[in-house]
Structure 1
Amino acid sequence: MAVLLYLDRFCVGIAEPYIRQDLGLTKQQMGNFLSAFFWTYALAQVPAGWMSDRYGARRMLTIYILTWSVFTALMGLAGGFVMLLITRAAYGLGQSGAYPTSSTIISRWIPLEGRGGASAIVSGGGRIGLVLAPIITTVLIVALVPSDAKMTFDSDSVIDLPSIHDTLWPKEVDDQPAHTTYLAERLQKVRRTNSVNDFIAELNQQITSLDLYTAESFARLKSLDKTATAIIKRIDNGDDVSKQDVHKLNRFLVEAILPSQLKGLYVKSWRPVLWIYGALGIFVAGFFWFVARDNPSEHPGVNELELTKIHGDAGNNPKQAEALPMMAILQNRSLWASSAMQICVNIGWLFVGTWFATYLLEEYQTPIHERGLMAMTPFIVAWFGSISGGVFTDRLARRIGVRWGRRLPLMLGIGLSASAFCVCPFLDDPWAVTAMMAAMAFGVDFAVPSMWAFNQDIGGDFAGSILGWGNMWGNLGAAASPPLLVYISETYDWNTMFYVCGAVMAVGSALCLLMDAEEKVVATPSVTE
């Protein structure tokens, strides 16, 4: 479930440039689109968690998975911004119950001393989904380009003709790359045209020519698609290359020089990717319903010894939660500190799941295959942070108690993340920035199991509701993050955005000092026979 959760949630980060180009949207609109998920996801956290506590995790999580999977598929049918926004918001509602329900399951199935490790497994599953999202989405986007797709451009392929002129024929040409100068010379006939049709006609002449590529002219073009690189290697080896492959190479050469001014070839394939993910989710929902039970005693594979291990000598099930204790929640200082901390963390962390791939494309013109690899690297590293963080908090809690056993891993992990953001402005290589994003993701995920265990420690039978409360506030931060970060990057620059993320995360680390896992929200309700 957790793998699918993040696979569906963050696949749009890789597809974002193609969705934006296909529907003719601005980056600010895409920021609002990415944000829409987190508004509904945040505001539905508490009611979704309470419904799972009240009506059972098996029933409700099945409904949640089905809901977000159906709207993931429907997003692939969007014809404009409004439908894109509605479907994104709707599957945010579906996903809102996933982690609170998982917390309920852990609190009813796992003894106290193992909850940090169990939380790390669930959290780690989400991070596996984050790892898979860039690479699987990249592979599917490339593979699902229609076999009969034309390599030439249509008139609606031009996103910004004035920007094309500025790139090809700038006022200052001293620093212009050789490949850009070469293409500008090939398109000299339309240098002064304001007609999109005339420009496209001449550009397509270059696409269908057999002599556009020369090794000398494109020797320094590093941001080439993997498919184009393979064709060039065959040309350099003297192998026969079909006209269709030459046209494809020419298309990718032009796209690499004008990445944001022309619609890319992969614009055609983002929709079926979402349909595939939606169908996969429907299967997962059915599988979960088949294997899961609300309580251990209801599962045919659980014996009396295991029941005693889970619930103590009585071997009983927790009772279903009744009314949510809102007054106790509102009066709990530690829970407010945890909520504020999660706002800070999500503002910064969400960059790597939303705008990082776009940053790599705009700042370094990184091709899609390498971009997918870079985008998944932080999440591979983060998985190790999640597992090690779960083990660390459990061992620390047994030795020094849950107050510092939860607080210290949170401070260390989030502090590392803040530092990693602040290093990025001093780097000028995409892989170096990727390494810092990996350190940032490791730090956040090292802290996550402690945050989960903190909510379970203080929440008792309301663990799902309490986790939902904190998640609600954290995801309000996530909702603000995409439009906020794109505003900062466009108004100032990406480096300013990195500093802002680092500062906000530093505040989050400091807030952990106010969190006390011994400060219960409510007394754990007594169990019934």
Structure 2
Amino acid sequence: MSNNSISRYSPGAAATTVRWKIFIIMLLLGAINYIDRTSLAIAMPYIVEEFDIQDAVVVGLLHSTFFWAYALMQIPSGVLADRFKTRTIIAWATIIWGAFQAVAALCYSTFTLAIARVGLGVSEAPIMPSGAKLMGAWLTPTERGRGSMLLDGGAALGTALGAVILTWLIAFFGSWRMAFVVAGIGTIMAGLLAWWYIRTYPHEHPYINKAELDHITEHNPTSVESGKKFKLSDIKPYLKQRNVLALIGGWVCYSTVFYGLMTWLPLYFQKTYGFDIKSMGGAMAFIFLLCFIGQLTGGYIMDRWRNSGAKTNKVLHTMLAISAITAGVGIFLCANSSDPMLAVGLLAVAMFPLRWASVYWSIPSLLGAQKVAGTICGTMNFSSNLFAAIIPIFIGFIVQLTGNYYAAMMVFVLAAVGYLICSLMINFDKPVIVTEDQA
């Protein structure tokens, strides 16, 4: 044994923080995921002009291709996360989606661009179910609020950074195509970083010491490897349980709000308030950066409140209710504002607590279903992204029919109401019943 290993496993050695470094890497991957995902929305004004797209429905269809592929791969990706090493899945998925992001730069028609977006959706699909498995293996129950926010924090951070980075790259190169190539190469490099540092289970990591390993395993018996392999049909018994159905419904409604705004805000700002590319990028960055800050703040409050001894039902119901109500009211007021700066401010307020919904990723583990967390989270994400695929098309029809975005914004308000109702239906005092062959 090396001197370094002796030091790390010496009695009294301070605990390492490998688990948090892993989730910072997951935050980075999530951010890159959304930079690549958002790139189409940021570049859309240029693509519309270059490809001579006259119909808003075609724009909606282009946005939806990613979500159809991403949605249809969620349940298979969840099963993969329950069957294979999450480290391998995460690293390879990241490298492959980086390649598809770069390949999109070679597209010269809406059809080929749609195919590239399908490839992006398929390859990005395993990240979140695999991340949910990592969270169950590496984090104790009272750390999962922060873990959920880091795991899913890349959505808001990536959307904010994507607005800045993509607009800068497009301006610098004078081409959305070169911006896509640079983004793809950066993603591939992040995949190599994930392979180097992430491990599926704590005991596999070369840099963890005994103090941290004991902390994880003492509070989290699911941090050890299971020999159980799961099948696609294993999800069926869980679809009969109210908590799982409420979990899926709440995530669908939340995702309708977040992804609807993420895909349509650039054109909304341009068409409704006359924003140019720089103003649009600045507004998107401001709104989603505040959303990211709010997300981390929410995770900290949840964990601190639960550590004080408060009931999980009280903590999560209160936080999720604030999240849903603030989002719905903020979007409604924005839709009724004619002042562009006020509209940006109202959307920033609406988005600040919206991604407290990220705690949904930890709920299967909180409800005692860690062994099938990948499958349940995959089903949850499949359902939400199925709606995320439909929503851009639906919004495109509404905009084309009405000639404005008011009715579309009301759709997001109604989705926020659904998010509130479903969140309050989850009973955290009632564990998910795990079937005998999976226990």
- Measured against the shorter chain, the TM-score band is 0.7 to 0.9
Within 5 Å, give how 1:243-392 maps onto structure 2.
269-312=175-218, 317-324=224-231, 325-392=234-301
Question: 2:146 and 2:436 mapped to 1: Cα distance?
Answer: 24
Q: Which runs of 4+ in 1 moved over 6 A?
A: 313-316, 524-528
Q: Residue type of the partner of 2:324?
A: I
Q: Establish whether residue 22 from structure 1 lines up as the match of residue 50 from structure 2.
A: yes
Within 5 Å, give how 1:35-434 maps onto structure 2.
35-145=64-174, 269-312=175-218, 317-324=224-231, 325-398=234-307, 399-434=309-344
1:160-190 CA distance string (max 9 Å, x none)? xxxxxxxxxxxxxxxxxxxxxxxxxxxxxxx
Q: Establish whether residue 514 from structure 1 lines up as the match of residue 421 from structure 2.
A: no
Query: Which residue does 1:203 correspond to in 2?
Result: none
For residue 364 of structure 1, report the CA deviation from its aligned partner: 2.2
Distance 1:327 1:22, change over 3 A: same
Query: Which residue does 2:351 correspond to in 1?
Result: 441
Secondary structure of 1:312 counterpart:
helix
Question: 1:379 and 1:313 mapped to 2: Cα distance?
Answer: 34
For residue 83 of structure 1, report the CA deviation from its aligned partner: 0.9
Distance 1:116 1:28, change over 3 A: same
Secondary structure of 1:293 counterpart:
coil
Query: Which residue does 2:39 correspond to in 1?
Result: 11
The answer (yes or no) to whether the contact 2:135–2:362 under 8 Å persists in 1 is no
TM-score (norm 1): 0.73
For residue 342 of structure 1, report the CA deviation from its aligned partner: 1.8
The answer (yes or no) to whether the contact 1:317–1:527 under 8 Å persists in 2 is no
For residue 527 of structure 1, report the CA deviation from its aligned partner: 12
Distance 1:321 1:270, change over 3 A: farther
The answer (yes or no) to whether the contact 1:378–1:434 under 8 Å persists in 2 is yes
Question: 1:39 and 1:516 mapped to 2: Cα distance?
Answer: 31
The answer (yes or no) to whether the contact 1:62–1:289 under 8 Å persists in 2 is yes
1:277-322 CA distance string (max 9 Å, x none)? 1111111111111111111111111122221110118986131442
Structure 1: gaps (5+ residues) = 146-268
For residue 440 of structure 1, report the CA deviation from its aligned partner: 2.1
Question: 1:460 and 1:524 mapped to 2: Cα distance?
Answer: 13
Query: Which residue does 2:10 correspond to in 1?
Result: none
Query: Which residue does 1:469 correspond to in 2?
Result: 379
The answer (yes or no) to whether the contact 2:56–2:397 under 8 Å persists in 1 is no
The answer (yes or no) to whether the contact 1:424–1:495 under 8 Å persists in 2 is no
Question: 1:343 and 1:317 mapped to 2: Cα distance?
Answer: 31
Q: Which structure's CA Rg is the greater one?
A: 1
Question: 1:456 and 1:436 mapped to 2: Cα distance?
Answer: 34
Secondary structure of 2:353 counterpart:
helix
Question: 2:279 and 2:239 mapped to 1: Cα distance?
Answer: 47
Structure 2: gaps (5+ residues) = 1-28
Q: Residue type of the partner of 2:362?
A: A
Q: Establish whether residue 501 from structure 1 lines up as the match of residue 412 from structure 2.
A: yes
Question: 2:294 and 2:266 mapped to 1: Cα distance?
Answer: 22
Q: Residue type of the partner of 2:275?
A: T
Question: 1:113 and 1:487 mapped to 2: Cα distance?
Answer: 44
The answer (yes or no) to whether the contact 1:460–1:524 under 8 Å persists in 2 is no
Question: 2:262 and 2:219 mapped to 1: Cα distance?
Answer: 45
1:24-51 CA distance string (max 9 Å, x none)? 2232111111111111111211211221
Q: Residue type of the partner of 1:322?
A: K
For residue 518 of structure 1, report the CA deviation from its aligned partner: 3.6
The answer (yes or no) to whether the contact 2:33–2:124 under 8 Å persists in 1 is yes
Question: 1:36 and 1:397 mapped to 2: Cα distance?
Answer: 40
Question: 2:411 and 2:306 mapped to 1: Cα distance?
Answer: 33
1:458-513 CA distance string (max 9 Å, x none)? 32122222221111111122111211112222212212222221122112211222
The answer (yes or no) to whether the contact 1:318–1:461 under 8 Å persists in 2 is no
The CA RMSD over aligned residues, in Å, is 2.2
Secondary structure of 1:322 counterpart:
coil
Distance 1:525 1:393, change over 3 A: farther
Question: 1:114 and 1:313 mapped to 2: Cα distance?
Answer: 10
Whose helix fraction is larger, Structure 1's or Structure 2's? 2
TM-score (norm 2): 0.87
Q: Residue type of the partner of 1:319?
A: S
